[in-house]
Each structure stands twice: as C-alpha cells, then as structure tokens.
C-alpha cells in the first residue's frame, strides 16, 4: 500500500513540475512581438537586431534567458530615423536556443509595401538583406575591377551602406541570389566563408561590428554553454545548425 502511495505521489509531483515548466514557457512573452505591436505605422519601416544575449541561473527548475535588441524605426528616412537599445528582456528557453546563432542579425522587420500592405518578416537575415539590398528603389548592382557584381546603395541612401556595414563587408550578387532563391522568408541565412558562417554569432562580421561587449564578457561563455546544453534537446532539434526551427511555429515564416 505504501509503495503504491509513493508511486502515486511521484506521478503527481511529476505532473505538477511538468505543468509548471510548460506554463512558464508559455507565459514568457516574446519581446519582439511586443515591440512590433507597440510600433505605430508612421514609424515604419522598423528593423529589430539581436544586440546581446545572456543567461542566468534561476530557481531549482528553470534558468533565466535574456535578449537585448537594437530597434531602428523609420529605417529609410534619415531625418526621422531613431535607434534605441532595449534593456535585457526575458525570453523563454526555446527562443534563446533558436536565436543563439543570430547575434548581429536582423531578427524581425516590418515595412509598408508599395502595395499599401504591411509586410512582416521574422526570419533572421543579415542586415539589409530582407528589404533593402537588391531592391532597386535603394540602389543597384555594379561590377568591380575583378568582374564581380556587388551591391551599391544610391547616393541618397548611402547612410544605409554605413548602417548595414556594406562598405567593409560587400554584398556580392551571387551570394545574394542564393539568399533570395533559397532562404528569403523561409530560413535563416548566414552566408559562408569557406566552412565558416559569414554572418551571425561568432562570425568575423559579428565580432567586428558588435558594440555590446558580448564577446569580451562572461555572457559569451554562459550563452554558449546554455546552447550546448539545450540545443541538441529533442524539443529544439532543427534542420539547420542554428537550432532555429522553421516548422514548429508558422509565424516565423513572416507574412
């Protein structure tokens, strides 16, 4: 009888703990959704960049995860453009793992299209790729001395070249074509330099353009350890190295 009671007690405690963890994940709102919802249409286009990340030991059942974002409103209007950096905002473990490799990348954008409709994208991409590079409203493809085609912003939009670091990290047409055909609004794109990522966490681009101090701090090792611990979990396994799942939740495809 006592044995049965102990088994029953164990099952009840397991159920309570599981319910707590599930509810905790669900009750942690997504800061990106909150930012987008609070941004009025007169501040579009908006770009949200993953600026920093951290994780801290929480209570006995769950660690705590945080993101810091750089939010740029009126991206294409220098007189109105405003850049703000958020505080560290709590996120759930799933979103932390999904976005571990997206440091320095645009993780969300919202623009007013020429058709008068609002276009939302929440698939991570290098800065400028989703809406500006390759868009003839903002520039054109030119050919360098080696015969390679690269993107050049028009004079009135040269500030975008600086904002997206295109001057130091040129965007070549063959790479961008690959992005448009195989990644745009479908899955995260990191480019490649040999076997390494050109963009994203740990890339030379991210290390050289980051201003948050992430790579020189303990946050870097804490985040890496958390990703190693949870990134291979069956709950977060994906079809790409980033841990970013594109099949689990439809909103990541954008609209």
* pLDDT digits 0-9 by tens, 106-161: 999 999 998 999 999 999 999 999 999 999 999 999 999 999 999 999 999 999 99
DSSP-assigned states of every residue in 53-79:
EEEE--SSS--EEEEEEEEEESTT-TT
Cα(151)–Cα(140) distance, rounded to whole angstroms? 6
Confidence bin at 11 (pLDDT 50/70/90): low
Minimum mean pLDDT among 8-22, 155-169, 193-207: which range? 8-22
How many Cα atoms sit within 13 Å of 89 on the Cβ side? 19
Q: Is 241 helix (H, G, I), strand (E, B) or coil?
A: coil
Cα(174)–Cα(95) distance, rounded to whole angstroms? 31
Cα(146)–Cα(174) distance, rounded to whole angstroms? 14
Confidence bin at 6 (pLDDT 50/70/90): low
Average pLDDT, the chain: 86
The closest alpha carbon to 128, from 72, 208, 86, belongs to: 72
Cβ atoms within 10 A of the Cβ of 133, count?
A: 23
Extents of the domains making up the chain:
29-127+190-253
pLDDT, tens only, 226-254:
999 988 554 444 444 444 433 333 332 23
Burial of 48 (0-12, 13-18, 19+ CB in 10 A): buried
pLDDT, tens only, 83-111:
999 999 999 999 999 999 999 999 999 99
Cα(148)–Cα(70) distance, rounded to whole angstroms? 32
Q: Could you tell me if 66 and 90 are in contact, meaning their C-beta atoms sit under 8 angstroms apart?
A: yes
The closest alpha carbon to 222, from 96, 64, 55, belongs to: 55
DSSP single-letter state for residue 172? B
Mean pLDDT within 164-171: 98
Q: Could you tell me if 70 and 85 are in contact, meaning their C-beta atoms sit under 8 angstroms apart?
A: yes
Cα(200)–Cα(202) distance, rounded to whole angstroms? 6
Cα(250)–Cα(238) distance, rounded to whole angstroms? 14
H-helix segments, 28-140 = 31-38, 93-98
Maximal CA-CA distance, the chain:
85
Query: 62 to each of 6, 30, 140, 222, how far by Cα in Å?
Result: 25, 17, 49, 15
Residue linked to tokens 């801290």: 56
Cα(98)–Cα(205) distance, rounded to whole angstroms? 20
């Amino acid at each position: 009888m006592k044995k049965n009671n102990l088994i029953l007690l164990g099952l009840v405690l397991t159920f309570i703990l599981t319910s707590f963890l599930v509810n905790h994940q669900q009750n942690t709102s997504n800061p990106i959704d909150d930012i987008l919802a609070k941004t009025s249409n007169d501040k579009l286009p908006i770009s949200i960049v993953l600026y920093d990340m951290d994780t801290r030991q929480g209570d006995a059942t769950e660690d705590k995860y945080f993101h810091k974002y750089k939010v740029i409103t009126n991206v294409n209007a220098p007189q109105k453009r405003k850049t703000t950096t958020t505080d560290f905002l709590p996120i759930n473990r799933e979103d932390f793992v999904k976005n571990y490799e997206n440091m320095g990348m645009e993780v969300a954008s919202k623009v007013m299209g020429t058709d008068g409709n609002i276009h939302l994208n929440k698939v991570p991409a290098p800065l400028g790729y989703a809406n500006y590079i390759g868009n003839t409203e903002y520039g054109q493809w030119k050919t360098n001395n080696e015969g390679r085609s690269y993107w050049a912003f028009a004079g009135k939009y040269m500030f975008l070249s600086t904002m997206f670091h295109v001057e130091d990290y040129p965007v070549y047409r063959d790479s961008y074509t690959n992005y448009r055909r195989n990644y745009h609004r479908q899955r995260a794109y990191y480019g490649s330099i040999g076997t390494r990522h050109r963009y994203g966490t740990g890339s030379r681009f991210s290390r050289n353009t980051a201003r948050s101090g992430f790579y020189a701090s303990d946050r870097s090792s804490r985040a890496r350890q958390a990703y190693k611990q949870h990134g291979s979990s069956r709950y977060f396994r994906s079809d790409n190295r980033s841990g970013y799942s594109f099949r689990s939740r439809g909103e990541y495809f954008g609209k």
